[in-house]
Amino acid sequence: MENNAVILAGGQGKRMKTDKPKVLCNVIGEPMLEWVLTACENAQLENICVVKGFAAEMIDEYVNNRSSKAEIQTVMQEERLGTGHAVMQAKDFLEAHKDGNTLILCGDAPFIDADTINGALELHTQRDCSVTVVTSRVENPTGYGRIIRTENGISGIVEHKDCDPYQLAITEINSGCYWFKTSDLLEVLFDITPDNAQGEYYLTDCIELLIAKGKTADAYISHNPNVALVANDRRGLLMLNDIARSEIIGKFLDDGIEFCCTDGVSIGNNVTIGAGTVIHSGVILRGNTTIGENCVLGNNCIIENTRVGNNVNLNNVQAYESVIEDDVKIGPYVQLRPNSHIMRGVKIGDFVEIKNSTIGEYTAVAHLTYIGDSDVGANVNFGCGVVTVNYNGDKKFRTVIEDNAFIGCNTNLIAPVRVGKGAYTAAGSTITKDIPDNALAIERGKAEIKEGYASRKLKARTEKYEQQKKIENK
């Protein structure tokens, strides 16, 4: 039996005061929609339909550009007339998968998780339910639909604005996540009406219609206390960020990861960290980042979509879409731009930028250096102030530096150029030709010295200084 999902993502979120869809607002550096899509993929749901509305082109762009484990399509909700109306827009998708079960969930409820999805599906199939609602028990249920339970399941859900005083006291709430038998959902979906305080088509009305047909409805209480949380404004979004940040750090603490201080620490939902790693303040780990074992992430590191090996020491490093192998030491004040590959045992010092380059094993890049579009071999030494000049204003070219080369201070390597094995460049050289193996390259302009020029050029400046010293000494 095929199981699939429909994600409701058409909301504008006016109180967010943004020009993008509400579901693209970030929680710990990832859009809320990404959290929901990830949960569905982790639950092995292979077909997903996203119902878009406001700024729909942004939803399409995001879905089309992400790396996806599932087949994802989008459908348009021209008018936002409630959750039931949103699901109606996915009619063709539902009919194409009518022999299975469909998970309906909200794109702005980021804390749904695979365990909850699969736990609810298990109850749904065991009891042969037409619908199973994912619920949560909370201290303050204000604003949420209340679950009306019976001895054999549930009799329905009442939206907050439609609750009577008895129903307002109920603390089991609707998370906005449901498993439906797809064929049963299609049987009643287009029978719901906007006869309520909001004048909208409530998806929850499908539950009562199914029960009236003698179908079974039940509710699964999630062990995740945050499963129903949504954000309607920036204050609410900040709350979700604080909760996510605390929960993720707590999970890694339970796994034995050491945090010296959590001030400014933010770790994304898809990040993995190996045992024995130590994290200092201000560290931000985002995207599909993997940190190996026994690493030290010093203050203010930002690591995004990057794989870091074991025994790596990073201090004030920014790394994006790169690979850092084992036993590497980098920092402080280093940037690794996308497609950088730092191989085992490399040492990179302060104020270095590397872009779209491979740095070979045990190479040392001490300080104040730019390496772009380059292939660097093993055991190469870079002096201070080296630049690979990769761009001529029109095209970019690569530099190749082979094993055991020594690049002297303030060398400019004008790409395309090759430095041979064991070759040496003299300090201050601007290299424009390939250097053979084991050769010394000296490429400098001819020195010209003009006697007395500086004293004439700097006369006014020197006199001003001497006058200032006389005033100070009076």
Find all residues with CB under 8 Å of 36, minimum gap 6, and list them.
Answer: 7, 23, 105, 106, 107, 109, 110, 112
Single-letter amino acid, residue 414:
I
124, 160, 341, 367: the active-site residue: 367
Q: Per the structure block, which two tokens stand in for 471?
A: 């005033």
> Do 376 and 364 touch, CB atoms closer than 8 A?
no
Active site residue 367: yes
Task: Report the 10 Å Cβ neighbour count for 355.
Answer: 20
Going by DSSP bridges, is the β-strand pair 172-181/101-106 parallel, antiparallel, or unpaired?
antiparallel
Order of strands across the sheet with 284-286? 266-267, 284-286, 302-304, 317-320, 334-336, 352-355, 369-372, 387-389, 412-414, 430-431
Q: Which residues contact 193 (CB under 8 A, 6 or more apart)?
A: 201, 205
Residues 172 and 174: their CA atoms lie apart, in Å, by: 7
- The greatest distance separating any two alpha carbons of the chain, rounded to the nearest whole angstrom, comes to 105
397 closest CA partner among 414, 377, 376: 414
* Cα 380 from Cα 422, distance rounded (Å): 8
Going from the C-alpha of 132 to that of each of 191, 211, 223, 236, 238, the distances in angstroms are 19, 12, 16, 28, 31
Active site residues: 367
